[in-house]
Structure 1
Amino acid sequence: MDGNFFVNGEAAGSDTNIRNLENTNNNSMAGALRLGYLWNAGAISWGAEGGYVDLGKVTGNDNYAVQDAGGPYDPLHISIKTQGEMLGGVFKLHYGDYGWFFSARGGWFHSHTSARVHDQLGLSSVSASNNGDGIYAGFGLGYDFNKHLGISLNYDYFNSRANGIYAGRFNTGMYGGTIEYRF
């Protein structure tokens, strides 16, 4: 059994699910940077990772919040941005010495969410931010060119929590490509 450190970067798109928003733009650019250590035993690698992820920004309208509060109809425009730290485990199953592999990851996600809400008439504007603990999980399919360099296509799921900001919970899917260097 041997081991090595790794660093990888992911460029991705994200799709955030926030209930009750209309005219939403759920899709955004996202990205992640991860550092960790892998133990290798034959075709199996496992280890620990830590990193930082930016899940992008979601915008949309809430056409009923002001009306439900007894005010005149004036839709609220909402913009929500989430990023945070992650700490978890990673597993890889290799096919051959170098070449194709399947990967899975998961762990703790500490999110930082900020929101800005303003009405369409420009009469009011409110900003808020909050932190919360959630989870992340993902899988990927990749190819190792050699002992030190590999690429993969991944899907990761993030559960963000931010009490007091809109629904307080956001689920984001991130899909993209990763390049990894091992040393």
Structure 2
Amino acid sequence: MRRFFTAFLFFVIGAALLQAQEPAKQDKGLTLTTVTGKRLHIKGTENGLDIREYRGKILFLEFWGTHCPPCLMSIPHYIDLSKKYKGKLAVLAIEVQDTPADLLKSFVTKHKINYDVVDYRTGMPLVNYISRRAQWRGSIPFLLIFNSKGEYVTSQVGLLPEETLEGVIKTLEKMKTEKGNEQNNTTPAKPVAK
């Protein structure tokens, strides 16, 4: 019994040490390359993600697949929104059905996708990181939304209508504007009476 307890204690301590090291590993960040060759520099933060190339933009991060009908239906929405909100919205789609990178690149070209797409093998470190943090269990499409500061806002399994996605963008933009106005809103000093 004593040996069992000692072994169990070492197991618990070892697991705690591994968990304690996880944020340190993520602090180093990772670099992903999209199917078109764009490099993305990503770090996990306490409240979300810091993707250098997307700073200041709302981020839609979607796990999707080329053989998933609802995923395919979302592509035109993201294309339209990427055009309409250029400079304000970034879309990053990670293909999780393991379509080979060369076929995925052809798919992106054929469908005129104007946002960033990463193949599964390249995106695996980020997929694993998100899976642990967001409790993702494999259903697709799986969308995570981050505000312009990289802070996690919400996630959704399943297809969302374009109107809903646009509503989210408008709400986050409005919140950003209102917050900016609050920070810049200073009450002028009253003149000193003589």
If the TM-score is normalised by the length of the shorter chain, which range does it land in? under 0.3
> Which structure: greater helix fraction?
2
Which structure is larger by alpha-carbon Rg, 1 or 2? 2
> Which structure: greater strand fraction?
1
TM-score by length of 2: 0.21
